Chains A and B, each alone.
Chain A
Amino acid sequence: MSINLKLSSWGIALLLLVGGCNNRANQVEEGSDKVSGRLNLVKERGSLVCGVNGELPGFSFVDENGEYSGMDVDLCRAVASAMFDDPSQVEFRDLGSQERFVAVQSGEVDLLSRNTTWTLGRDTSVGMEFAPTTFYDGQGILTTKASKIEKLEDLSGRSVCILSGTTNEQNLADRMRKLNLDYSPVVFEDTDLLYAAYEQDRCEAATSDRSQLTARRAVMGKPEDHQVLNTVLSKEPLGPLTANGDSEWFDVVKWTTYAMIQAEELGITSENVDSFAETEDPQIRRFLGLEGKLGEDMGLPNDFARRIIKNVGNYGEIYKRNIGDPFNLDRGLNALWTDGGLLYSPPFR
Chain B
Amino acid sequence: MQQSDLAKIPWWRNRRVVEIVVQAFVLAIAISIIAWMGNNLSNNLQRLNLNFGFDFLDRAASFAIADPPIEYRPTDPYFRALLVGLLNSLRVMFFGIIIAATLGITVGIGRLSDNWLVRKLASLYVEILRNTPLLLQLFFWYFGVFLRLPKIENPLIVGDRFFLTNRGLDIPWFASNFRTDLSWLAIVGCLLLATAAWTKRNQAIERGQNPRFWLGILVLGVLGAILLFCFGIDWIVPQLQEQSITGGLNLSPEFATLLFGLGIYTSAFIAEVVRAGIQSVSKGQWEAARALGLNSTSIMQMVIFPQALRVMIPPLTSEFLNLIKNSSLAIAIGYSDIYAIGNTIFNNTGKPIEVILLLMMVYLIINLIVSLIMNRFNALVQLRER
Contacts and interface: CB of A to CB of B under 8 A. Distances in A.
B74 A174 contact: yes
Contacts of B253: 202
B47 A16 contact: no
Contacts, number: 159
A152 interface: no
B127 to A, nearest CB: 28
A187 B344 contact: yes
A31 B36 CA distance: 13
Contacts of A174: 62, 74
A24 B28 CA distance: 14
B203 interface: no
B63 interface: yes
Given A13-B28, A127-B350, A165-B343, A5 B21 contact: no
B132 interface: no
B27 interface: yes
A183 interface: yes
A188 B20 CA distance: 54
Contacts of A176: 64
Interface in B53-74: 56, 62-67, 73-74
Contacts of A177: 73-75
A102 B345 CA distance: 13
Contacts of B244: 157
Contacts of A16: 24-25, 28
Interface string B80-106: 000000000000000000000000000
A253 B333 CA distance: 36
Interface string B38-62: 0110011011111000001000001
Contacts of A31: 43
Interface string A312-333: 0000000000000000000000
A245 B332 contact: no
A185 B48 contact: no
Contacts of A102: 346, 352
Contact of B147 (A127, A164, A173, A200): A200
A121 B348 contact: yes
Nearest to A33: B47
B331 interface: yes
A28 B43 contact: yes
Main secondary structure of the interface of B (DSSP, over half): helix
B213 interface: no
A185 B73 contact: no
A11 B40 CA distance: 26
A279 B135 CA distance: 61
Contacts of B386: none
B340 A189 contact: yes
A286 B350 CA distance: 40
A98 B344 CA distance: 7
A187 B331 CA distance: 8
Interface of B: 16, 19-21, 23-25, 27-28, 31-32, 35-36, 39-40, 43-44, 46-50, 56, 62-67, 73-75, 142-143, 147-148, 151, 166-167, 243-244, 252-254, 331-334, 336, 340, 343-344, 346-352
10 contacts: A8-B20, A9-B23, A12-B20, A12-B24, A13-B27, A21-B35, A24-B32, A106-B44, A165-B344, A185-B65
Question: What are the 5 closest A-B residue pairs judged by CB atoms, nearest first?
Answer: A126-B350, A165-B347, A12-B24, A9-B23, A13-B27
Interface of A: 5, 8-13, 16-17, 20-21, 24, 28, 31-32, 35-36, 97-98, 100-102, 105-106, 121-122, 125-128, 157-159, 164-165, 169-170, 172-174, 176-177, 183-190, 193, 196-197, 200-202, 243-245
Given A9-B20, A105-B352, 13 more contacts: A11-B24, A17-B35, A32-B46, A32-B47, A105-B350, A106-B44, A126-B350, A127-B49, A165-B347, A177-B75, A183-B64, A185-B65, A201-B147
